[in-house]
A = this chain, B = another copy of it.
Amino acid sequence: MHSPDIPKAGEMPLFAAALLESLRAKAPRVHCVTNSVAQNFTANALLAVGCVPSMTLSADEIGDFVSRSDALLVNLGTFDRERREATEIAVETASEGKRPWVLDPVFVDRAPGRADFARELAARGPSVVRLNASEFSTLFGVQASRDTVIAAARANTIVLALSGETDLVTDGTRAAAIGNGHPLMAKVTAMGCAASALVTACLAVETDGWRAAAGALTIFGVAGELAAAKSAGPGSFAVAILDALHALDGATVVQRARVT
């Protein structure tokens, strides 16, 4: 249980800034099980903040990669027979090695089999589940609202990071609402996958899943705002957010963070 003197959402800007510095200093290895649409952008986003990404999906070697990584992302955008087998090995390896892992149940609202697999995975103890309102509703059987998300996090002793106009990150006890970001983020594919990858990276340097997730989404939202100011549309935005993540410093995060 969380002691009453742990940091609250109001202190998140400083934590987010510290997380960013920690990523750059420690350069964690992040293994990503993600779909081929998102792999390139996700790898570049992780490189931009100083991490070392790897992406193999082969069942024959994913265990070796995960056991040499600091954290694991499981994005269900990839879902065929071999990928499913690889995912299971990856989660098993992460669990055995007590490595943190993040579940991003992309598009579970589109295919029942995918939703079933996501439920199985959610029950295996991911540090954080990052998802949108529609995916939440499919997995938890209730419309997403601040109250239902907090209740679902508490009932499942899990950290939930719900993306939306305002992101909500909660472990059932604490809740942070993150107002950073920009509408262009919804017009570029893999932006959510990259956000989940950044949550994963932060878990490699911060054991408190709530702080790691809220800090990561704050960093990502601030980078999105800086990128939008230099963009002429979704194409240049996708380029500019990588530049922004690379150039971002803690002081800018503190100055621009809008977390309540």
Chain A residues with a Cβ under 8 A of chain B: 35-41, 43-44, 47-48, 53-61, 64-65, 68, 77, 79-83, 107, 110-114, 187-190, 230-236, 238-247
Contacts and interface: CB of A to CB of B under 8 A. Distances in A.
Contacts of A110: 54, 61, 64-65, 68
Contacts of A59: 80
A48 B240 contact: no
Counted per complex, copies of this chain come to: 3
A46 to B, nearest CB: 9
A247 B235 contact: no
26 contacts: A35-B55, A37-B55, A40-B40, A40-B41, A40-B190, A44-B188, A44-B235, A47-B189, A48-B234, A58-B81, A58-B83, A59-B80, A60-B79, A60-B80, A61-B111, A64-B113, A65-B107, A65-B111, A81-B82, A232-B243, A233-B242, A233-B246, A234-B246, A235-B240, A236-B242, A238-B242
Nearest to A187: B47
A205 B122 CA distance: 38
A68 B134 CA distance: 15
A241 B238 CA distance: 13
A79 B56 contact: yes
Contact of A77 (B35, B56, B107): B56
A175 to B, nearest CB: 29
Contacts of A232: 230, 240, 243, 247
A41 to B, nearest CB: 7
Contacts of A107: 54, 56, 65
Given A64-B110, A110-B65, A247-B233, A188 B57 contact: no
